[in-house]
């Protein structure tokens, strides 16, 4: 996962997540960096604590990755948790980000898996594009403009 995100690619990612939510009849879709930062969300997320969900999911994926190492497996690319009303499908996108789909009886695991695969391929291509842009494009970093005063001002209570 790139460590920057630009408006153009963010919009493309958002569109893919929205389409995935619609095409898979999901309640919500989240795209999360492997360290737990939320990149995009779509669907019925108003009632969700997205930040907490992202952090816990990333922890879950990290723990599963640790288990795969112990078992000499390259990785477990997806997980599925079945609840009474809500189910959750978690998958790694090109080993760089985590795609989370929350769904209920309006959808099925098979449909979600199918749609996730297509979305993951598209997302992978966008990540590559962002990485290329971040490396070649001399985007002015906001950090070069930050002064000591800016940092100090954050902590003025």
Residues in contact with another protein by CB under 8 A are: 3-7, 10-11, 33-37, 39, 49, 51-52, 55-56, 59, 62-63, 65-66, 139, 141-146, 150-155
For residue 42, give the nearest of 124, 99, 81, 93 by alpha carbon. Answer: 99
Q: Which is nearer to another protein, 39 or 119 (CB)?
A: 39
Is residue 23 within a helix (H) or strand (E), and if so which, with residue range? helix 7-23
Q: Which is nearer to another protein, 72 or 154 (CB)?
A: 154
Distance in Å, CB of 86 to another protein, minimum: 18
Distance in Å, CB of 113 to another protein, minimum: 26
CA 110/CA 50 separation, integer angstroms: 25
Q: Which is nearer to another protein, 36 or 43 (CB)?
A: 36
Contact 94, 64 (CB under 8 A): no
Token pair, residue 21, equals 């939510």
Distance in Å, CB of 32 to another protein, minimum: 11
CA 55/CA 37 separation, integer angstroms: 7
Distance in Å, CB of 110 to another protein, minimum: 31
Q: Which is nearer to another protein, 26 or 39 (CB)?
A: 39
The length of the chain in residues reads 157
């Amino acid at each position: 996962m790139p460590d920057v995100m630009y408006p153009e690619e963010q919009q493309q990612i958002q569109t893919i997540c929205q389409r995935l939510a619609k095409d898979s009849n999901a309640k919500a879709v989240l795209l999360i960096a492997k360290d737990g930062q939320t990149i995009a969300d779509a669907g019925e997320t108003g009632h969700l604590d997205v930040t907490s969900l992202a952090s816990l999911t990333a922890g879950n994926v990290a723990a599963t990755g640790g288990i795969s190492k112990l078992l000499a497996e390259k990785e477990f690319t997806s997980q599925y948790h079945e609840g009474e009303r809500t189910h959750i499908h978690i998958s790694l996108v090109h080993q760089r980000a985590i795609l989370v789909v929350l769904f209920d009886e309006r959808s099925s695991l098979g449909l979600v898996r199918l749609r996730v695969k297509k979305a993951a391929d598209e997302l992978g291509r966008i990540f590559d594009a962002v990485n290329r842009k971040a490396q070649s494009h001399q985007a002015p970093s906001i950090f070069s403009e930050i002064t000591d005063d800016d940092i100090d001002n954050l902590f003025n209570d």
